[in-house]
Amino acid sequence: MNFEELPLAGAFRIDINPHEDERGFFARTVCEDTLAAHGLVSRFSQSSVSYNRSRGTVRGMHYALAPYAETKLVRCTMGAIHDVIVDLRRDSPSYLRAVGVELSAGNRTALYIPAGFAHGFQTLQDETEVLYMIDRPYVAGAARGVRWDDPALDVAWPEPVTVISERDLAFPAWTGLDPVV
């Protein structure tokens, strides 16, 4: 696994290191020891999948309140997404900065998202599936979101938004009042 630290403190792009032969290739996508050696959360208690029918679909921007803030490892297993994270940790040097990374079935890249970040994505193809590994069980009462188009977050979505849930549309602008970590 190859780790590239992103401009947001604690966030990483992780690429596979495939070993190829006549059959194709084999690659490790998660390794507890390797993640721990980089100082990252290395155990995940939940795995979830998001299937999206249409290109341009936006899901996000989601986060969870402390003490239930989630660390995630996200990979696109079918299709492609523009994955966006925003640092919501008030004491972080990258507070309210956003980064977008293209994740696709073709590039096999993963995004490591520390607790205290908002997360969302936009599908770049129809029939897109996203796999999430999450370090703690979901707690519905701690789930929150911030508007996908909040100017304070300065997120540049690459395509027009074609589908977004009523729930995501109803999220408020970021106030900085929520304790995310």
Amino acid 178: pLDDT: 75
Residues of the chain predicted below pLDDT 50: none
Residue 68 is among the residues annotated as catalytic for this protein: no
Amino acid 180: pLDDT: 82
Helix, strand, or coil (residue 2): strand
Q: Which amino acid is present at 163?
A: V
Amino acid 156: pLDDT: 92
* Whether the Cβ atoms of residue 147 and residue 58 lie closer than 8 Å to each other: no
Q: Which of 62, 63, 82, 112 is catalytic?
A: 62
**24 beta partners:** 21
At residue 156's C-alpha, the angle toward residues 154 and 160, to 5°, is: 130
Amino acid 134: pLDDT: 98
Amino acid 64: pLDDT: 96
Amino acid 181: pLDDT: 74
Q: Which of 51, 95, 112, 132 is catalytic?
A: 132
Residue 62 is among the residues annotated as catalytic for this protein: yes
* Whether the Cβ atoms of residue 32 and residue 47 lie closer than 8 Å to each other: no
